[in-house]
Copies of this chain bind each other. A is one copy, B any other.
Amino acid sequence: MTTGHVFIATSLDGFVARQDHSLDWLLKQPDAEDDDGGFAAFMDSVDGLVMGSGSFRTVLGFGQWAYTKPVIVLSSSLTGQDIPEELKDKVRLSSAAPADLMQELQEEGWTRAYVDGGRMVQSFLRQGLIADLTITTVPILIGSGIPLFGSLDRDIDLQVDSSRILPTGMIQTTFRVA
């Protein structure tokens, strides 16, 4: 089956965005022009993205479409009308269950899917659909927001593959689901 892979930034207290989806705390961090934290290489390694409606709205808000790979928006509330005309060939809506979606994507030839956004990551993790997570920890506490992780039925053991301090002063660690 297609495997899920996470590449995400969180505050030190574990939030991927403020409650209103704002990323000001992340965007104010210093840039490192010559080091993208491995993002381009990660993007090259996936066949496409899976995100929820919250992340999709945030990305739409950037004004400029950031992805060259196909994007699946997993949502039971959005309809085709919520996808702007110019994105119809780049974005596909699905209301499938996560495991069914990964089966479908497998049949379409996807090997690796980038699973993005707090709610999606939680849901795919709970169902054992995530193979690894690259988490970039931003050295800031924001106190509240949308958490990367959520409740679980059972513990999930991971293994650290690699960890480094980025030139921006963030910590980037790759965890493999054990």
Contact = CB atoms under 8 A, between A and B. Distances in A.
A12 interface: yes
A169 interface: yes
A151 interface: yes
Interface in A91-139: 125, 135, 137, 139
B160 A141 contact: no
A141 B158 contact: yes
B173 A158 contact: no
A158 B143 contact: no
A32 interface: no
A160 B149 contact: no
A168 to B, nearest CB: 10
A-B pairs, top 6 by smallest CB distance, nearest first, are A143-B152, A13-B149, A139-B158, A141-B156, A14-B14, A143-B151
A64 interface: no
Copies of the chain in the assembly: 2
Nearest to A142: B155
Contacts of A38: none
A158 B140 contact: yes
A163 interface: yes
Contacts of A148: 13
A169 B159 CA distance: 7
B149 A12 contact: yes
Contacts of A178: 139
A87 to B, nearest CB: 33
Contacts of A137: 173
Contacts of A164: 163
B143 A155 contact: yes
A17 to B, nearest CB: 14
Interface in A150-176: 150-160, 163-165, 169-171, 173, 175
